[in-house]
């Protein structure tokens, strides 16, 4: 007679070293010494976070006004890959690739960390959203006005970025407080102000944070943005607007509009929706052009 089957012996579960720092900070240090946790996290965010320069924000507050994040567009779970295709309103569907690619060629200017200075970001960085949710409770990444709104973006090493994903956490609040200090008082061209204010209006107010705890702007790391970047972004916005105009007017689309999938999907967009987005992009591009001209 055979005995009962012997249970399979399993070894200890493996630890992922790539996530060890995050788990130690979040699950151990925060419980052991919350003040040390907050000081260390603040130090990491200030020392390792990389921001878009406020002078460049003044010219282009929203980098991709025609793009929204859609995690389902990449064909996961057996779905077809539809990255860069238009949604029902005419926006480009992105999985955050377009946002991450915005700064990949820019050198970093860092006055305190030589490992960053004059280098560009490589693997292991995340384009983190300072605000995950809008005032109405929706996803800030799925709204074009906040998805690529520069105050809502900071590049962080992945272990540090994960700390900002926890809603209402110290790390998230601290990043929001820095963003407000860096960008809220920047003077914008009169034609650009309504667009920036619209974006700010979707973002919840920053919880009370001691001003003495927020770093000086000069102590932060910033990307160095070449002047031709604005011309490329302006061209892309206008290209999208012209494609939408074809849909709006019922004309065939001549040539490629941004991406192959976007071009092929545009005729399926409702003309009324295409008109609304086209007007918004046209007005925004005109305002950006004026800001570029005034900047000299």
DSSP 214-275: SPPGGGSEEE---THHHHHHHHHHHHHHHHHHHHHHTPPP-S--SSHHHHHHGGGS-HHHHH
Two tokens, residue 31: 């419980």
pLDDT for the residue 64: 98
Nearest to 286 by CA among 198, 195, 186: 195
pLDDT at 83: 95
pLDDT at residue 266 in the model: 97
pLDDT at 2: 57
Q: How far is CA 85 from CA 5, 144, 148, 268, in A?
A: 54, 15, 18, 11
Report pTM.
0.92
Predicted confidence at residue 258, as pLDDT, reads 97
pLDDT at position 209, please? 79
In this prediction, residue 4 carries a pLDDT of 63
Looking at residue 208, what is its pLDDT?
A: 82
Q: What is the mean pLDDT of each run of 10 residues along the chain (296 residues)?
A: 62 83 89 94 97 97 97 79 96 96 96 96 95 94 97 96 93 97 96 98 90 92 96 97 98 95 97 98 98 86
Pull the structure tokens for residue 60. Answer: 């282009």
Residues 6 or more apart in contact with residue 45 via CB below 8 angstroms: 156, 160, 164, 171, 174, 175, 178
């Amino acid at each position: 007679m055979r005995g009962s089957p012997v249970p399979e012996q399993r070894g200890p579960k493996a630890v992922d070293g790539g996530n060890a720092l995050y788990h130690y900070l979040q699950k151990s240090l925060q419980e052991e010494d919350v003040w040390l946790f907050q000081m260390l996290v603040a130090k990491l965010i200030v020392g390792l976070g990389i921001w878009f320069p406020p002078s460049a924000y003044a010219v282009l507050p929203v980098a991709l006004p025609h793009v929204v994040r859609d995690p389902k567009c990449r064909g996961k779970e057996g779905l077809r890959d539809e990255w860069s295709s238009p949604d029902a309103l005419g926006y480009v569907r992105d999985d955050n690739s377009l946002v991450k690619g915005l700064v990949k060629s820019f050198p970093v200017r860092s006055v305190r960390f030589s490992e960053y200075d004059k280098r560009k970001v490589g693997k292991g960085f995340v384009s983190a959203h300072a605000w995950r949710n809008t005032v109405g409770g929706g996803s800030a990444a799925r709204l074009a006005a906040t998805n690529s709104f520069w105050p809502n973006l900071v590049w962080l090493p992945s272990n540090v970025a994960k700390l900002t994903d926890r809603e209402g956490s110290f790390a998230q609040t601290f990043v929001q407080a820095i963003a407000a200090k860096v960008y809220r008082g920047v003077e914008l061209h009169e034609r650009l102000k309504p667009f920036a204010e619209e974006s700010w209006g979707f973002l919840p107010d920053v919880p009370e944070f001691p001003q003495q705890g927020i770093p000086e702007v000069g102590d932060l790391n910033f990307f160095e943005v070449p002047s031709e970047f604005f011309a490329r972004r302006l061209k892309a916005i206008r290209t999208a607007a012209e494609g939408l105009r074809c849909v709006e007017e019922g004309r065939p689309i001549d040539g490629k509009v941004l991406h192959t999938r976007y071009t092929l999907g545009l005729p399926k967009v409702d003309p009324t929706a295409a008109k609304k987005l086209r007007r918004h992009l046209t007005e925004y591009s005109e305002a950006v052009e004026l800001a570029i001209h005034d900047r000299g």
